[in-house]
Structure 1
Amino acid sequence: MKKNVLTALTAALVASALGSAGAANVPVKMQLKWFPQAQFAGFFVAQAKGFYKAEGLDVTLLPIGDQSPIQTVATGAADFGTTWITDLLTARQQGLPVVHIAQLFQKSGYTLVALKSSNLTDPKQFSGKRVGVWPSGNEYPAVALLKKYGLTTSLDSTVSNPSVQAVTYPFDPSLVFPDKVDLVSAMTYNEIDQIVGLGYSLDKLKIFNTSDYGVNLLEDLMFTTQKTLDNKNFKNSGMSGEEVAARLVRATIKGWNYAVANQKEAVQTVLINCGNTCKGSGTRASAAGHQTWQMTEVAKLYRAGQTLKGNAGLLDRATYDANVKQLMDLGILKSAPSAGAVNYKVWEMATGKKAK
């Protein structure tokens, strides 16, 4: 009898916590930064495990390819999205009212990769070289690294004789590396494994992690618009936009914590959602193998910084300030972002903790 009373009480408390969204889940469109892959494992796990549903949310995860998620969220085609911090801050500089609400990856996974036979050992040697970069705001970490070492690129139309030739390519390193570029952009969790699959084992590569050279521009954050946060009745749910955002962040963090702790299971969840982009290249063409590599590497980016302090999803203020200063010093940002660029209240609502 006591057990039944406790069960009923627990159910009542859960229903109360979910509020008006408990019965009919609120539709939420979440824009991912790329196609389905383990880079977004926490989102897929949160969906598969019912973590979103438990928060009263019916979340649709939207793939995008090589476009910027900023546009779909800013135009209202999606409610929330993931992107990189430089993309978000430069968008705000251009007048788009996008707002950072949670920081998932606590460390940058961006690298530039060269063949070891090129004898490149320091970014100072990149002058006169061809560097493969990605479009749609994904080139900024490479530009930041080059500018830090006094190098200009062909991406800057104001420079008549750039020291580095930037070669924009659509994310597949096999299209340019190593014949058309001397260095190529590669994420630790994706393109490095693809390059290995092309026949260039790790011992044949020289990998320049931008974070090792003081360019630790944060990636994979969650964001929305100020309009969504200010909405007092999100999609007639009876909840404010901030409340919906907090529930989304809370469930997503739960999904990421589970994915990192259960990586094999997380990979299987990702594979259910995968298409051809889940495969690696050449000898690493197995989707399962490539996604296993990817899950291992993204777990390192998630399990760092504030996550190790028990504050998963929190944007570290010192790291953020350092990112802003670097982007301003390099001229990528013309002025410091307003305080509204980051909303810590959503994270505090999601976790019950105080952002420090």
Structure 2
Amino acid sequence: MNRPLAKALCLTLLAASPAAFAQDLIPVTFQSKWFPQAQFAGYFVAQEKGFYAEEGLSVTVLDGGNVNPTVQVASGNADFGTDWIANMLVQREQGLEVVQIAQIFQDAGYRMVALSDSGIETFADLAGRTVGVWGFGNEFVSQAIFAAEDLTSDLDPTVTNPDVRAVVYAFDPSLVFPNEVEVASAMTYNELNQIVGLGYPLESLNVLDPAEIDAALLEDLIFTTPALLEAEDFKGSGVSGREVAERFLRATIRGWEYAVENQAEAVEIVLGFCGDTCAGSGATQSPQIHQTWQMARVAELVMPDENTAVGAIDREAFGRSVELLVQVGLIAEPVSFEEVVDTSVYEAVAGP
């Protein structure tokens, strides 16, 4: 073959390769817990930087917010998802077949927030107060806190004279705080900053951490179904479900590591995926400001220290969460680590 023809053929193949490569990518759906924001930066970074594509995957991140992630994955509407352990175990006890394969948030970000002049300084002070809580499985964390303090709430329909009046609201603290509820549910990376944006600086707030009463529960984890892991041919791709799970997790961990190390770039990537939900509810907030705050706080949860292995599952932390959920009656029977967690996917990715 002459050199000009060979060069022309090479250029033709290079030009054709992106499309051909894209056609070979295996479609995968991932169910998030909320709308696009820095809480899910690692997934968006892995998507934007091509980490998923390098693993042969085309990943679609599905919006959350008004759906229950565990239900979505168990029902086949998504291949993988992220959820909090409380909801996952409650749904699992009700018959949904799901299995955890990684733990992204090593620390919990859930808090309860009150004005400093409210007299609410500890969780015990919630007695006789009005507390804003969330639905779609997020209410289980609030219930665990109430039960840990031996407080009843009207989240339990069998209680006739509850200690705490719980108001379920649609996640936006500006809808209820501080006029309709004295205490608001807040994530360190999201609603806490929204409350600040509403005109309540941190020094004017009492921020209550469930860890102080041993009521913190594991949050954003990655899970799938046993059926997916057992599939010999995932969606007709010729690749097993377990191999797809390993590829997905490997790229996701890369995405999170990159996001933590390059937070400003990660924020810009997140902003490219979201609209108004990136701004937060406070009038003084902007998407850039709010997501920068959020990325910094999320990084602290994903990698509490430089030695943290992203995605690692802490058996002791899992056990504490299960023990608390049984203790407060959210699940009837304890479950073992081996029943709920499949470590083989993470181990295949992370190595010995």
Percent of pairs identical after alignment?
A: 50
Q: SS in structure 2 opposite 1:95?
A: coil
Q: Distance in 2 between matches of 1:288 and 1:30?
A: 25
Q: Distance in 2 between matches of 1:98 and 1:170?
A: 26
Q: Distance in 1 between matches of 2:41 and 2:178?
A: 30
Q: Per-residue CA shift, 1:231-277, capped at 9, x if unaligned?
A: 11111222211111111111101000000000000000000001111
Contact 2:173 2:281 in 1 (8 A): no
Contact 2:303 2:309 in 1 (8 A): no
Partner residue in 2 for 1:154 = 154
Q: Per-residue CA shift, 1:279-306, capped at 9, x if unaligned?
A: 02334320011000000100000012xx
1:349 maps to a residue whose letter is A
Question: What is the 5 A alignment of 1:183-332?
Answer: 183-304=183-304, 308-332=306-330
Q: Does 1:130 align with 2:130?
A: yes
Residue 310 (structure 1) shift: 4.5
Please identify, of 97-106 and 282-291, the stretch whose mean Cα deviation from structure 2 is larger.
282-291
2:330 maps to a residue whose letter is I
Q: Distance in 2 between matches of 1:284 and 1:141?
A: 29
Alignment CA distance shift 1:120-1:35 (3 Å):
same
Contact 2:104 2:312 in 1 (8 A): yes
Q: Does 1:103 align with 2:103?
A: yes
Question: What is the 5 A alignment of 1:335-354?
Answer: 335-337=333-335, 339-353=338-352
Q: SS in structure 2 opposite 1:282?
A: coil
Residue 211 (structure 1) shift: 2.0
Q: SS in structure 2 opposite 1:333?
A: coil
Contact 1:66 1:170 in 2 (8 A): no
Alpha-carbon RMSD across the aligned residues, in angstroms, is 1.4
Residue 46 (structure 1) shift: 0.4
1:342 maps to a residue whose letter is V
Q: Per-residue CA shift, 1:5-58, capped at 9, x if unaligned?
A: xxxxxxxxxxxxxxxx99811100111111000000000000111110111111
Q: Per-residue CA shift, 1:314-342, capped at 9, x if unaligned?
A: 11000001110111111111002253311
Q: Per-residue CA shift, 1:102-121, capped at 9, x if unaligned?
A: 10000000000000010211
Q: Distance in 2 between matches of 1:103 and 1:64?
A: 19
Contact 1:193 1:284 in 2 (8 A): no
Partner residue in 2 for 1:30 = 30
Alignment CA distance shift 1:101-1:107 (3 Å):
same
1:166 maps to a residue whose letter is A
Q: SS in structure 2 opposite 1:301?
A: helix
**TM norm structure 1:** 0.90
1:297 maps to a residue whose letter is R
Contact 1:92 1:337 in 2 (8 A): no
The alignment of Structure 1 onto Structure 2 pairs a total of residues equal to 331
Q: Distance in 1 between matches of 2:323 and 2:161?
A: 27
Partner residue in 1 for 2:113 = 113
Q: Distance in 2 between matches of 1:331 and 1:175?
A: 30
Q: Does 1:180 align with 2:180?
A: yes
Alignment CA distance shift 1:277-1:245 (3 Å):
same
Q: Distance in 2 between matches of 1:212 and 1:53?
A: 42
Q: SS in structure 2 opposite 1:59?
A: strand
2:33 maps to a residue whose letter is K
> Unaligned 5+ residue runs, structure 1?
1-20
> Unaligned 5+ residue runs, structure 2?
1-20
Partner residue in 2 for 1:166 = 166
Residue 66 (structure 1) shift: 2.6
Q: Distance in 2 between matches of 1:210 and 1:275?
A: 31
Contact 1:194 1:284 in 2 (8 A): no
Q: Distance in 2 between matches of 1:273 and 1:349?
A: 30
Contact 2:42 2:258 in 1 (8 A): yes
2:34 maps to a residue whose letter is W
Q: SS in structure 2 opposite 1:114?
A: strand
